[in-house]
Structure formats: C-alpha cells, structure tokens
Amino acid sequence: MGARRDLTLREKIGQLIVTGFPGPVPGEELRSLIADYGIGNVILFSHNVENAAQLKALCDGLRREIGERTGYPPLIAIDQEGGRVTRLPADATNVPGAMAIASTGRPEHAYAAGRLTARELRALGINFNLAPVLDINNNKRNPVINVRSYGDTAETVERYGLHMLRGLREEGVLASVKHFPGHGDTAVDSHLGLPAIGKTLEQLRELELKPFAAAFAQGAEAVMTAHILFPEIEPERVPATMSRTIVTELLKKELGFGGLVVSDCLEMDAIRKFYGTAEGAVGALKAGVHLLFVSHTPRLVREAVERIEQAVLGGELPMAVVDEAVEKVLYYKKKYGENGAGEAGEEEAEAGIGDSGAGSSAARLAVLSAASMGASSAASDSDSASGLAVVGCEAHRRTAEAISLESVCLVGGKLEPLAKGAGDTLFVGCSPYRADQASSGAGGAFSFPAAMGEAFGAAHRVTGIDPDEEEIRQIAEQAQGYVRVVVGLANGRDYPGQLKLLERLRADGRRVTAVALGKPYDLEGLGEDVCALAAFEYTPLALRSLARILSGETVPVGKLSLSL
C-alpha cells in the first residue's frame, strides 16, 4: 500500500468517484483514470465476472493497483441484491431476490441471505454491496423495482430489508440501502427517463420514508439516492440526488443520517440526458452526496472530475464540501477497505438468527445455516491458497435452495402433480431476457420450457417474448394434442402476447398452469380454473424449485407479500 499523504484537489475528487470498466480484465483506460485522475473506487458488473477465481484475482489486482497509486484502498462495489439483480458467477451462491424471500414469510431467511452473501463477497475481495432495496413497490406499473422490493407495505419492506441489512453488516460488508427517498411509486425507469412523484413530505413520512428511518435507527452506514423529481418537496426541477432539500435537510438533518451518502449512477438517462453527467456530479456534491457513481464511460469520468475541479477553483463549490465528502469516504475505506473486511461482531454473528421460533422447521433451517456458515468460514480462513472455500460452498447452496423452495406461491387454482415421462403435458414460454437496465444480462443457456421439458421428459416450445397472432395460432394447434399446458410468464403485462397465448389455450379447453417468472401481477384475473404459481424470478435456482413443486415432490408454501 502506498504511503498516506496530503491529497491534491484532483486526488481528493478521485476519492469521490466510483467507476467501472468493460470485460474481465482492467484496460488501459481504467489504468489511466487511476494514474492521471486518482480514481479510487470501482464497481463490478456481470461483464467483469467469469468465475470465482478470476473475480478474486481481479479484486486483488484492483486493490493493489489503486492502493499503490492513491495511498488508500478502494471501495469495490457490486449490486448483489439477489434474484434478477445478481453479478456473482455460477460457481458462487446467488440468493433469491427480495420479493421471493418475503414470500417465504420468514424474516430469518432475509438475514441468512444477507449473511451468506456477505461471506462470499468478502472472500472474493468485494467490500461494498449496493443492497438491500428498501423501496415499497406500491405502483404495479413500476418497471424497474417491482420484484426487487420486499412488498407493497412499509411494514413488510422494513421487516425483511432490515434483516438482510443486519446479515450483510454482521459479516463485515458495507451495505447501502436504496433508493432514498423511495423509488417504488414510479412508472418510469430512471435508467431511461426522469420519473416524478407528486407526494408531499407528509405523505412520504407516512409510507416511503419509514423503512429508511428504521434502517438508520438500526445503524445503516450508507444510503443511495434516487434520480427522481419530488416537485412538492424540491421547488427546483432537480431530482433527489441533486436536491439539497432532500439530501441535507431531510436525510441528514431531519432523519439524522450521519453515514455515507452515495449517488445512483450519474450516467443513467435521468441525469445524463436531462442535466449532463458532469453537472449532475457537481449538483450531487452541492446537495450533500459524498460518493459519485460514474459507472461506465471513461470520458464522462474525466469530464466529471474536471467539472468538479473547475467548480471548486471558481468558488462555485466550497472546498469544505469536498473535504467533508473525502473525510467520510476515507472513514469507510479505513473500516472496510484494507482487506475487504469490516469490523464484524463475531459473538453477535454466531449468536443465532433473528426472531425465529425454535420449534419451526424454518427456524431449524436458519440455525443450521448459521452453523454451517460458521464452519464454512473456518474452512475459508484455513484455505491459504485461495481463500475461496466459502464461495459457492455446499452450506450456502443448500440455504439458497431452501429459501427458493419456500418462496414459490400457489396464487390460484389447484396444483396437479406432473408425472415424469407423461406425454399429456406441453411446456411453453419465452427465453429469459434482461427485464430492465438494473437486471443482469440474460444468457441463452437455459429457458423455462427447455428446463421443464428435460426435467419431466415432456414436450416443450420456446416462444418469442411477445407472441403475435400467428405464433399464438401455431402454438394453439400444437397444443391440441395435449391435456395440459404449463405456461411460463415473464412479465406478461409488459408483453401482452404472452397473456393472449395463455387465454387462447384456456379457451381451447387445455388445462393451464401459469407460472409467473417475474412480476406476480401477471397472475391477476386469470380465472379459478387456471393453476397460478408465482416464482418471482427467471433464474436456474427458481427453475429447480419449480420442477420439484410441479412434480409433487413438495408443495408450495409461500404467501404473497403484496396484494393482487
């Protein structure tokens, strides 16, 4: 690690920037940003990740290079929420997402998910997780939050989100709750546009702010701001990220938050298109944000640094604001950055899980998971060659599988077990796809119809994401030879051809089972004769759980955490 020293203005600004890079290996552009602009932090996405060993070597190299150049270890950030927003490789453990976990009815599962996620992140060298999501999904048309939320009430989000937060913190990972002051009541994705919420401050206090206030009271150390207009609160036409009224007056003063305030990515269209990334960076610092994400484009990183530098030298941005932000960032770097590890309380971490009742099967699973994770941690500590024994270990995978299995909900109708090798069932549905800009990219290696066809030795057909009339006609003709059709719905409200196909099959007299592989709202109004299952996410883990439930090996025990 390089020697600690006084920082120049540009080096101070570099400590306030988080950026990313394409591919699994840092290129010359990132090295130039580190060397010439003192950029001190990185964010990782799926395109940076191949496998656990590669990811560990990548993080070790980034820590070494940034530490030697800047004198301070980097914050290495990732969006590892679970479910459809996961970045870790297949040989690590990716847990179910928020709404799936809440549907289990077991807050201890949220704690276990946070805890095992943090263990694996630390083993890989990642010290900053941009999770959990504390948005309340009270708008069914929300295109970007939806299943990333624990539910549609403040009580549900608080109950599960705070357990996830506690699990992450106790295992020594800096965790950022998001997206303050709430992204759940929007119908616009801030990656692609500029949402607005017309609520008063009192209305926010009654709903959206409650989970955040509870998290701050529990000791949350970081919070991410939302790129959303709140015209009833902020008279200037700037989003929360650039609003001093929201960041300083509401977040810091009224709610008493004294931790690290981070921006959502300033390359999202809500900022880049309407204000410009560089201007957004200056505006965010003026508002009271400490750490700025410019996650993809080196040119925009350089512009942001130079624009902040200009604002300070020209008297537009007080040096004291920059110094206060740097002091805050360096505090958390000292706590979490040196070895990718924070100050986890071992006694507290090993004491048990949540408020689970000792007599319940879920409680026994949770306690077993805690004990197993303790054993895995010891194995990891003794693995001097790589330190990766905990990553994707059997205990973690069993825990994730158990949570996933308990998350599947029977929303309507009657579930009839499917026999393997039966020739009376047809599986249909589209391939997985990237549902929004927050989701990880979807590979073509698996699909619901193919996976179920293989599991049951049954016929299957992969459809387009939004079947047109001709495709619907062809599938209806194919289905004439089958008694039942199992339809995988991947956000059918967004792609209504999926729902039209389901309705055609039902009208033709097929016995239909509908499986929601995304938003459960797809299951509204399907009729009592349709068996409706909610799985919440289109992942290999969810498909394995569905195969066990559809076969009758186990019954669905989940309960929806929102209203249909």
**Residues annotated catalytic, as ranges:** 191, 264
Closest CA to 125 of 73, 177, 72: 73
**What does the block give as tokens for 358?**
């000792």
> CA angle, 181 as apex, 126 and 190 as ends, to 5°?
75
**What does the block give as tokens for 426?**
């047809």
- DSSP-derived 3-state class of residue 38: coil
Q: What is the DSSP letter of 444?
A: S
Longest dimension (CA), the chain: 76
Q: End-to-end alpha-carbon separation of the chain, Å?
A: 54
Closest CA to 391 of 18, 49, 84, 21: 49
Burial string for 20-46 (b: 16+ CB within 10 Å, else e) reads bbeeeebeebbeebbeebbbbbbbbbb
Q: From residue 155, how far is each of 34, 151, 273, 406, 465 by CA, in Å?
A: 43, 9, 35, 21, 35
Contacts of 361 (CB under 8 A, 6+ apart): none
Q: From residue 37, how far is each of 31, 305, 326, 426 by CA, in Å?
A: 10, 8, 15, 58
> CA angle, 264 as apex, 259 and 268 as ends, to 5°?
165
Closest CA to 95 of 356, 373, 357: 373
- DSSP-derived 3-state class of residue 299: helix
C-alpha 60/C-alpha 69 separation (Å) is: 14
